[in-house]
């Protein structure tokens, strides 16, 4: 084990971020951390890294501290490695290629829960965008504010979707699904038998978002271990901005506009479990969510996870938001073959059924 120079790594990250035209505050975070550490004896930096006390220094946050720890362990920091991996690539072109490779959307809502439009309108809009399928994932019973579907209503919805599929144009399918709440103990908020019938199950945390780290980690790990779960939805629960301008209308109440910080959980443990169980990590494209943040997309990629680039659309126009998710995925170097919705509907359903 040969330690690297953590200060040089932080400065290199700042340089690459700057060159990639990333937000100034992000660049500054790495430069500030480099400066804070440069002012200390190397021995103290190493000691603080060992005892987890780097973040007590002004100018050093969780992300920069992790880079320092990785550096001192002799590893190229994940953050730097992913930046280097995308260096020199035309990210706009990469994002566009990723968007073109997407054949469907695995997280959408209709007016059966808190969406604003009937299922058929969502389906027709998705078909017009060039999708081959759309997974209908209305909310589960406990999410009452979003009119979550009881088991009975979900059964009725399945019958309704079967009829709609008979009438839809050749080459396009509505796949059945749910955005099921991950409850406080990590169980999923719907009947097991029903979950087994669905093509794709997205599981999300919508309550107790401030659970302490250990509790939240156990809760997420329990959900990931559930054989019905296929995709881990918006894993940090953060809200980076209020609802985007011009987006109004009914529903969407599970995704109320307000900012909210990330839930605290052991991301390495959660992503390792996702990779092991073949659960895809959602890259949620909603502008107010942008979830997970890029540093966590990079970690999930390093962990070997699959991804799903979803819109979480609550209205037909929002189905076009996938490009936002693709931009963020491209910046993190996510390859198309790791994204489950670049697969055909048959491949997707077979993957989901396998677990
Ligand atoms: Zn949600
Ligand atoms: Zn949703």
The per-residue pLDDT for range 248-307, each reduced to its tens digit, is 444 445 445 579 999 999 999 999 999 999 999 999 999 999 999 999 999 999 999 999
Q: If you measure from the C-alpha of residue 329 to the centroid of ligand 2, how many angstroms do you get, rounded to a whole number?
A: 19
Q: If you measure from the C-alpha of residue 243 to the centroid of ligand 1, how many angstroms do you get, rounded to a whole number?
A: 14
Q: If you measure from the C-alpha of residue 312 to the centroid of ligand 2, how many angstroms do you get, rounded to a whole number?
A: 5
CB-proximal residues (5 Å) to ion ligand 1? 204
Q: If you measure from the C-alpha of residue 190 to the centroid of ligand 2, how many angstroms do you get, rounded to a whole number?
A: 16
Q: If you measure from the C-alpha of residue 172 to the centroid of ligand 2, how many angstroms do you get, rounded to a whole number?
A: 22
Instruction: Return the pLDDT at 245.
Output: 41
Residue given tokens 């700057």 in the structure block: 18
CB 182 within 8 A of CB 219: yes
Q: If you measure from the C-alpha of residue 330 to the centroid of ligand 2, how many angstroms do you get, rounded to a whole number?
A: 23
Q: If you measure from the C-alpha of residue 238 to the centroid of ligand 2, how many angstroms do you get, rounded to a whole number?
A: 13
Q: If you measure from the C-alpha of residue 253 to the centroid of ligand 1, how many angstroms do you get, rounded to a whole number?
A: 10
Closest by CA to 322, choosing from 347, 342, 305, 306, is 342
**Both structure tokens of 270:** 């959660």
Instruction: Return the pLDDT at 249.
Output: 44
| Cα–Cα distance list, 53 to 4, 65, 206 (Å) | 19, 9, 31
Model pTM above 0.95 = no
Q: If you measure from the C-alpha of residue 208 to the centroid of ligand 2, how many angstroms do you get, rounded to a whole number?
A: 17
Q: If you measure from the C-alpha of residue 21 to the centroid of ligand 1, how many angstroms do you get, rounded to a whole number?
A: 30
Q: If you measure from the C-alpha of residue 274 to the centroid of ligand 1, how many angstroms do you get, rounded to a whole number?
A: 18
Of the listed ligands, the closest to the CA of 114 is: 2
Residue 283 has phi, psi (to 5 degrees) of -105, 100
Residue given tokens 């908020």 in the structure block: 189
Instruction: Return the pLDDT at 243.
Output: 59
Q: If you measure from the C-alpha of residue 206 to the centroid of ligand 1, how many angstroms do you get, rounded to a whole number?
A: 6
Residue 197 has phi, psi (to 5 degrees) of -75, -20
Of the listed ligands, the closest to the CA of 113 is: 2
Instruction: Return the pLDDT at 87.
Output: 87
| Cα–Cα distance, 194 to 178 (Å, whole number) | 10
Residue ranges, the chain, pLDDT below 70: 1-2, 242-257
Q: If you measure from the C-alpha of residue 352 to the centroid of ligand 2, how many angstroms do you get, rounded to a whole number?
A: 18
Q: If you measure from the C-alpha of residue 204 to the centroid of ligand 1, how many angstroms do you get, rounded to a whole number?
A: 6
CB 307 within 8 A of CB 334: yes
Q: If you measure from the C-alpha of residue 149 to the centroid of ligand 2, how many angstroms do you get, rounded to a whole number?
A: 13
Q: If you measure from the C-alpha of residue 336 to the centroid of ligand 1, how many angstroms do you get, rounded to a whole number?
A: 24
Q: What is the dihedral of CA 180, 185, 191, 196, to 10 degrees?
A: 70
**Both structure tokens of 159:** 């019958």
| Cα–Cα distance, 66 to 33 (Å, whole number) | 11
Closest by CA to 60, choosing from 31, 25, 84, is 31
CB 309 within 8 A of CB 340: no
| Cα–Cα distance, 133 to 76 (Å, whole number) | 40
Q: If you measure from the C-alpha of residue 82 to the centroid of ligand 2, how many angstroms do you get, rounded to a whole number?
A: 28
Q: If you measure from the C-alpha of residue 205 to the centroid of ligand 1, how many angstroms do you get, rounded to a whole number?
A: 7
Of the listed ligands, the closest to the CA of 254 is: 1
**Chain mean position to CA 267:** 12
List of residues 6+ apart from 215 with CB closer than 8 A: none
| Cα–Cα distance, 180 to 137 (Å, whole number) | 8
* Alpha helices (H) along 148-202: 151-167, 192-197
312-331 burial: b if 16+ Cβ within 10 Å, else e = bbbbbebbbbbbbbbbbbbb
């Amino acid at each position: 084990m040969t330690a690297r120079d953590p200060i040089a790594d932080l400065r290199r990250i700042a340089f690459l971020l700057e060159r990639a035209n990333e937000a100034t505050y992000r660049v500054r975070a790495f430069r500030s951390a480099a400066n804070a550490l440069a002012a200390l004896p190397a021995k103290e930096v190493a000691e603080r890294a060992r005892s987890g006390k780097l973040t007590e220094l002004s100018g050093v946050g969780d992300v920069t501290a992790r880079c320092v720890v990785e550096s001192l362990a002799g590893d190229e920091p994940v953050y730097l490695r992913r930046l280097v991996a995308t260096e020199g690539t035309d990210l706009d072109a990469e994002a566009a290629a990723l968007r073109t490779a997407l054949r469907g959307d695995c997280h959408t809502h209709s007016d059966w829960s808190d969406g604003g439009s009937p299922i058929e309108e969502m389906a027709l809009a998705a078909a017009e965008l060039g999708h081959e399928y759309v997974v209908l994932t209305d909310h589960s019973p406990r999410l009452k504010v979003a009119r979550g579907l009881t088991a009975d209503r979900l059964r009725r919805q399945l019958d309704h979707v079967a009829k709609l599929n008979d009438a839809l144009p050749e080459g396009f399918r509505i796949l059945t699904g749910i955005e099921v709440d991950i409850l406080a103990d990590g169980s999923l908020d719907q009947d097991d038998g029903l979950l087994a019938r669905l093509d794709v199950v997205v599981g999300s945390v919508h309550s107790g978002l401030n659970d302490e780290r250990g509790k939240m980690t156990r809760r997420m790990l329990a959900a990931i271990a559930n054989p019905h779960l296929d995709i881990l939805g918006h894993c940090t629960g953060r809200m980076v901005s209020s609802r985007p301008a011009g987006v109004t209308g009914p529903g969407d109440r599970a995704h109320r506009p307000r900012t909210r910080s990330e839930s605290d959980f052991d991301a390495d443990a959660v992503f390792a479990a996702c990779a092991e169980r073949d659960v895809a990590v959602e890259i949620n494209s909603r502008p107010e969510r942008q979830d997970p943040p890029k540093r966590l997309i990079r970690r999930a990629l390093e962990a070997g996870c699959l991804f799903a680039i979803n819109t979480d659309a609550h209205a037909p126009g929002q189905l076009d938001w996938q490009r936002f998710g693709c931009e963020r995925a491209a910046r993190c170097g996510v390859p198309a073959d790791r994204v489950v919705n670049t697969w055909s509907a048959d491949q997707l359903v077979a993957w989901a059924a396998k677990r």
